[in-house]
């Protein structure tokens, strides 16, 4: 929605545009107060909110976008005997498809909805109350009319006092309830490296961003493929966006090699030889993998968002993990000034993190390091290439440390450089690396420092 025009539409009588933007915010988990579905004019949106309440009652927590979409499809299949529900579910699917295909509401529109939601609810409830008062007015029962209207104001006054209060620290009981609800919603997806996952409460959670830092050729793509393969084995749908360097076919080959422990080049040379094994491995999967290729500087974050929306609406899929390989090759929006490139890359990272929140998925991406990391002995946050905002925005940052000697002997050290999900920055995890099959596995030897012989600067 264009900012100026949509703002006017949203303000005009709190109409359909307002309801659509409100539903979008509710579905992607933005912080808005609960709305009674019965005050919504659009029948499709009203049915979606009704089903959302049913799912919340059933599962004891707010349903994800994927759960809502799946429920609507199920209602559409099982409502043959109920014409009203059949029509309602069809309208709801049409509404949700329309909303997700549109550009998300602007920050200004979202702020407007947050500020005006209480008034929107009050106006809608007043209209309904006045309509119910028609018979009372005709029969002269004015006290009942007054009581109805006063009830609306009193109810909304009480509700209005709770909007925007946030967490009251002195209320221990309320905080414990919030902690418990948050724990139920934690759905961290493991990376496949236990010593890293244990520091991240089990894995990277929905709405959070993980960045893998390393010099060119260190294994950023390999680690991202391992993360994606691990998520698939845990039953989590994965979307892998490969930009610039690696083709869709090559990315798929890497997943096959990693998952089935088969040399990638052998699969590429003799695909029919491994067909039976690949089919058997696919039959065991309960999750889906989507791989999409773009050229360098050809793809924007909006392109990735549109692709995710297509998967949600057309394929009934909401990914648990989004992998973007990698952020530096995404085409940025136009920014002017001396520090334009710095701010462009920072903006890309911030928008990728927001994608994770909008689609309730964990996001992993990679970024290059500068020449200071050439030796591979260690890596620092300040070694990040182009924009320090990359590591400032990320929730988790993992550095790839690998000297020439370690590379020759098939070893690597993963350095947990930043972790908003549990601290323990500075943790080093020694790993065995198998480039032929694209596998990275945590080593049994977890002693600190450089491993497997001495390394010199010349290495």
Instruction: Report how far residue 386's alpha carbon sits from residue 206's, in angstroms, rounded to the nearest whole number.
Output: 27
Q: What pLDDT score does 177 carry?
A: 65
What is the percent of the chain with per-residue pLDDT over 90, rounded to a whole number? Answer: 34
Minimum mean pLDDT range among 100-104, 211-215, 401-405, 416-420: 100-104
Instruction: Report how far residue 133's alpha carbon sits from residue 131's, in angstroms, rounded to the nearest whole number.
Output: 5
Query: What CATH code is assigned to 194-442?
Result: 3.40.50.300
List 289's β-bridge partners, or say none: 238
pLDDT for 131-168, tens place per residue?
Answer: 777 777 777 777 777 777 777 777 665 554 333 445 66
**300 vs 136, more confident:** 300
State the average pLDDT for the chain: 81
Instruction: Say if residue 197's pLDDT is above 70.
Output: yes
Instruction: Report how far residue 387's alpha carbon sits from residue 347's, in angstroms, rounded to the nearest whole number.
Output: 10
The structure's pTM equals 0.65
Confidence bin at 190 (pLDDT 50/70/90): very high
**174 vs 82, more confident:** 174
Q: What pLDDT score does 441 carry?
A: 96
Q: What pLDDT score does 456 carry?
A: 39
Instruction: Say if residue 172's pLDDT is above 90.
Output: no
Contact of 241 with 299, CB cutoff 8 Å: yes
Average pLDDT of 27-55?
Answer: 83
User: N- to C-terminal Cα distance for the chain?
Assistant: 55
Confidence bin at 106 (pLDDT 50/70/90): confident
Range from 107-121, 176-190, 433-447 that averages highest in pLDDT:
433-447
Minimum mean pLDDT range among 154-163, 313-322, 377-386: 154-163
Task: State the sign of the Cα–Cα–Cα–Cα dihedral 414, 416, 417, 421.
Answer: positive
Q: What pLDDT score does 323 carry?
A: 97
Average pLDDT of 333-354?
Answer: 71
Contact of 263 with 257, CB cutoff 8 Å: yes
Q: What pLDDT score does 331 carry?
A: 86
Instruction: Report how far residue 54's alpha carbon sits from residue 71's, in angstroms, rounded to the nearest whole number.
Output: 10
Instruction: Say if residue 36's pLDDT is above 80.
Output: yes
């Amino acid at each position: 929605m264009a900012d100026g025009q949509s703002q006017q539409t949203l303000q005009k009588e709190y109409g359909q545009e307002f309801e659509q933007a409100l539903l979008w915010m509710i579905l992607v988990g933005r912080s808005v107060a609960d709305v009674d579905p019965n005050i919504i004019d659009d029948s499709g949106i009203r049915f979606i909110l009704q089903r959302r309440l049913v799912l919340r009652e059933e599962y004891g927590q707010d349903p994800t976008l994927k759960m809502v979409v799946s429920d609507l499809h199920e209602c559409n299949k099982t409502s043959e005997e109920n014409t009203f529900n059949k029509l309602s579910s069809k309208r709801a699917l049409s509404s949700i498809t329309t909303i997700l295909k549109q550009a998300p509401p602007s920050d200004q529109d979202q702020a407007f909805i947050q500020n005006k939601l209480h008034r929107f609810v009050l106006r809608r409830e007043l209209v309904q109350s006045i309509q119910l008062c028609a018979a009372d007015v005709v029969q002269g029962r004015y006290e009942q009319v007054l009581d109805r209207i006063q009830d609306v104001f009193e109810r909304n006054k009480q509700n209005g006092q709770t909007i925007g209060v946030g967490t009251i620290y002195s209320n221990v009981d309320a905080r414990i309830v919030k902690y418990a609800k948050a724990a139920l919603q934690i759905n961290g997806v493991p990376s496949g490296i236990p010593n890293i996952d244990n520091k991240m409460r089990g894995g990277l959670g929905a709405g959070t961003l993980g960045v893998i830092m390393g010099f060119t050729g260190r294994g950023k793509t390999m680690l991202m493929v391992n993360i994606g393969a691990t998520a698939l084995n845990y039953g989590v749908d994965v979307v892998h966006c490969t930009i610039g360097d690696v083709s869709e076919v090559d990315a798929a080959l890497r997943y096959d090699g990693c998952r089935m422990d088969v040399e990638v080049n052998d699969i590429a040379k003799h695909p029919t030889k491994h067909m039976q094994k690949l089919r058997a491995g696919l039959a065991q999967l309960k999750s889906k993998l989507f791989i999409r290729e773009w050229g360098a500087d050809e793809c924007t974050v909006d392109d990735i968002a549109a692709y995710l929306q297509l998967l949600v609406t057309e394929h009934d899929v909401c990914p648990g993990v989004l992998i973007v390989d990698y952020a530096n090759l995404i085409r940025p929006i136009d920014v002017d000034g001396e520090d334009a490139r710095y701010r462009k890359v920072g903006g890309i990272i911030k928008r990728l993190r927001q994608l994770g929140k909008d689609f309730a998925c964990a996001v992993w991406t990679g970024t290059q390091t500068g020449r200071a990391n050439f030796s591979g002995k260690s890596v620092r946050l300040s070694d990040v290439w182009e924009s320090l905002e990359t590591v400032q925005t990320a929730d988790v940052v993992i550095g790839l440390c690998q000297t020439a000697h370690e590379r020759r002997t098939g070893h690597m050290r993963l350095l947990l450089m930043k972790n908003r999900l549990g601290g323990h920055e500075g943790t080093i995890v020694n790993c065995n690396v198998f480039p032929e099959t694209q596998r990275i596995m945590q080593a049994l030897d977890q002693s600190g420092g450089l491993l497997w012989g001495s390394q010199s600067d010349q290495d």
